[in-house]
Amino acid sequence: MAQDSQAQRRLEEVLGHQFRRAELLEEALTHASSAESHNERLEHLGDAVINLVAAEMLFIRHPDAREGLLTQWKSLLVARETLARVGERLELAPYLRVGGGLDGSALPRSLLGNAVESLLGAVYLDAGGGLDPNSGGLAACARLAARWLEPELAALPNRHARAHAKMLLQDWAQAERGAPPSYVVTESHEHLDTRSFHVCAEVAGRRFAGAWAPSKREAERLAAWEAVLVLRAEGEMLGEDGRQDH
């Protein structure tokens, strides 16, 4: 949509940046479906910016974390799903300019994540970029990204642990019980179009509460997470002190 001055001011307040070049904001909010001049180039730039900023944020906040763990955390922090949540919190949807079959319909969440990246690219250029030694492009982006991503940071270690639950459980089981866990399908249901599986994790003869999922692989991951939660409640340190994280 073409930005009127009042709408632009509202959005700038939400974003936390006042644009000197209004055309950059307009371009950042323009999807490829609606115009020849769209936000994909800015999205490309913003992707690089947010990766650098996220890497520095994690480096500073977690001085004892190993490189491999920082890399995995950064991947979660800049993932499209994470950035889509950021876009939802910023309430970007009404400001996006779309066309074709997207106009007038509920927007795919991926467009919000794309817009977050393109907006960071726009802010980077609006503040002077980074090639000019006197510019403040990276500083401006770091300030905004830190505020936008702050709600995601606290949950990041737990999100990582959940995504890598099978690895955490296997490392703990090998170290503490001398054998890897096994996964047992205890129930399954088949319908015309779907299947579902109930899987339990077992470690050294102990069976933990299970989980349902549409695939065995996903059910195993969820079952491993159930086991991790139980073991953590019992005082075991799975993914909480770095001992079982890679």
Active-site amino acid positions? 47, 117
The residue written with tokens 């992707």 in the block is 47
Give the C-alpha separation, 19 to 10, whole Å.
12
**Do 180 and 170 form a contact (C-beta atoms < 8 A)?**
yes
Q: How many CB atoms lie within 10 A of CB 166?
A: 21
20 burial level (CB within 10 Å; 0-12, 13-18, 19+): exposed
Among 183, 208, 213, which residue's Cα sits nearest to residue 198? 213
Tokens of 203: 């470690």
* Alpha helices, DSSP H, located in the chain: 5-15, 22-28, 40-61, 67-77, 80-89, 109-126, 137-153, 156-163, 165-177, 216-233
**Do 241 and 232 form a contact (C-beta atoms < 8 A)?**
no
